[in-house]
A and B are shown apart, each in its own frame.
Chain A
Amino acid sequence: MFVETIQPAFETPSTVNLIAMKKIIYVTDALDLHLENLEFAGYIAGLAKSKLLAVFLENDESEMRTDSMIKTAAVNAGLNVTDEPVTLKQHTCDANIQRFRTACESKGIDCAVHRDRGNPLAELILESRYADLLLLNVGTSFSANREGTPSDFVKDVMGNAECPVVIMPASFEGIDELVFTYDGKASSIHAIKQFTYLFPQLNELKTVVISINPEDVTPEERYKFREWMHAHYNYLDFLSTEGNVKMGLVELLYDRSKSFIVMGAYGRNLLSNFFSPSHADPVIKMVSQAVFIAHH
């Protein structure tokens, strides 16, 4: 682990600090709203000086959940269960949207709501094309069965979204450090760049770059990477370990707190996924920090 600095030729007289607004989407299952994420979402929207746009996925076309699950959802949303299932679902969605708006208001978050009624995945991928960032709850699942984390829906979104995705942490107490994972591949660089463009104002935070088997990348390339990192971040640390990538990642990421983890490479093609499942999955499963994922 070592730190190197590049001496800029001059200190520029004026710094341009224009922060453009971003389109940030808070994704939620209309029946299963997790308001504990809102603290984090509000923080992100505030960083980007943007409105929080909530997309409520109602999944009317292909609802697979049983009536009793919908009843549970209705109770969670604070409704009395007296209606027929179909109207009950409508009311639950409405109630959740109202809960969301109230919560945003009390936290001072400027919000707007989109209701998407069709197939959740298709709707969301389309939304992502016109968005800068998706904020996603790790357990979002439209399935009738219990699923592990990340759920299949979350995996599909991460693999197909046309903008970066953030898996929100369950609890949030601020961000103290950024953690980038770097393996020299195009997708890890792409993720780091996208993160940097979306959150240029985080460049004063402590920044850790993690590489597993750093010798795999040529010295010349590592040098150029460092040059780029130093141009963008002010407090850099490089950490590395040898051996198995998955184990190494989990080991280096497990004990962190208040960090924002940035990962590339969410394999989108099935075959390669089959042979080497994404490195992001175990990280998302084991680590309760915010995880930023962009694929190429």
Chain B
Amino acid sequence: MKKILAVFDGLKFSDSTLQYAVKLGIQHDALITGVFLEDPTYTSRGIYQLYNEKEYAYDSVKDLVREDRQERDAAVDRFEKACKEASVNYLVHRDRELAIRDLLKESRYADLLLIDVSESMTRYTEDPPTHFVKEILAGARCPVLILPQHFSDIKKVFWLYDGSPVSIYAFKMFSYLLPVLSALPLEVLTVDLPEVTLYNDMVKELIALHTPQANYHLLKGVPEVEIPRFMRKQEKDSLLILGAYQRGALSMLFKTSMADVLVKEHQWPLFVAHNK
């Protein structure tokens, strides 16, 4: 039984994460751990909203804290109810410490982490990829599935293969972790790069062993432009596998990662794995 972490913000509950979690739970007979990050420094209201009502400030702070707590409890209830209805095994972890560090630690003892692309764990909305999602991508100790804001049943799988060891690692992890989805038709997407053509036979052998049918697409041009353009023409019910997120801050500064580019489109679930 695989252990899948589904990350929720109790104050901005993501329906899409819940739906994908339940679906994957049923499909793969997985144990879903709902991780509710309840960082005490994060509330639904900012300090300036309280400032106007300074006369009643003390009471209203107490009320607001209570309201937040109720909302967080309601979110946990919703998660529990959905899992029970679908007969999926589940656990609830409510975490009251600083969000990101704890989550990364938890990911060590998980097989897959699900997170909504727009999750920011702050009151503010950010354009994806949010800082929070970026940090998770870089630091997670298990593969991450970044989810779009709307659920759609996955019917097709695309693998972005760039010849690097890490993209192969991601493909292997995908087929180990989600065997039901890896039985779906696979489309291998490459951009015409010198290192890609080099070991074609070996890669084909690996693919042939793992998937029943595979199609190959070779695009020409700049990967960061061509891949999103190609993907936009595809059905929405696709999942994308890609390797890598460079850990080093320096390399991230100079080179935007393909994951960042695709996250901006927020249309398809992205399965991202890195082996470092």
Contact = CB atoms under 8 A, between A and B. Distances in A.
DSSP class of A's interface residues: helix, strand, loop or mixed?
loop
Closest 9 CB pairs of A and B: A197-B176, A130-B202, A224-B109, A228-B109, A18-B179, A8-B89, A130-B206, A231-B3, A21-B209
Contacts, number: 98
B40 interface: no
Contact of A232 (B1, B173, B180): B1
Interface string A189-232: 10001000110000000000000000000000100110110011
A227 B29 contact: no
B209 A22 contact: yes
A228 B29 CA distance: 14
A9 B83 contact: yes
Instruction: Name the residue among A8, A51, A130 with the largest chain B CB count within 10 angstroms.
Output: A130
Contact of B109 (A16, A50, A189): A189
A42 B90 CA distance: 37
Interface residues of B, number: 44
A221 B102 CA distance: 11
B221 to A, nearest CB: 26
B231 interface: no
Given A51-B209, A132-B172, A224-B108, A186 B141 contact: yes
Interface string A278-296: 0000000000000000001
Nearest to A194: B176
A163 to B, nearest CB: 7
A186 B141 CA distance: 8
A197 B178 CA distance: 10
A20 B175 contact: yes
B37 to A, nearest CB: 16
B182 interface: yes
Nearest to A225: B109
Nearest to B202: A130
Given A10-B84, A20-B179, A228 B110 contact: yes
Contact of B183 (A18, A132, A296): A18
A91 interface: no
A231 B199 CA distance: 38
A162 B173 CA distance: 13
A19 B275 contact: no
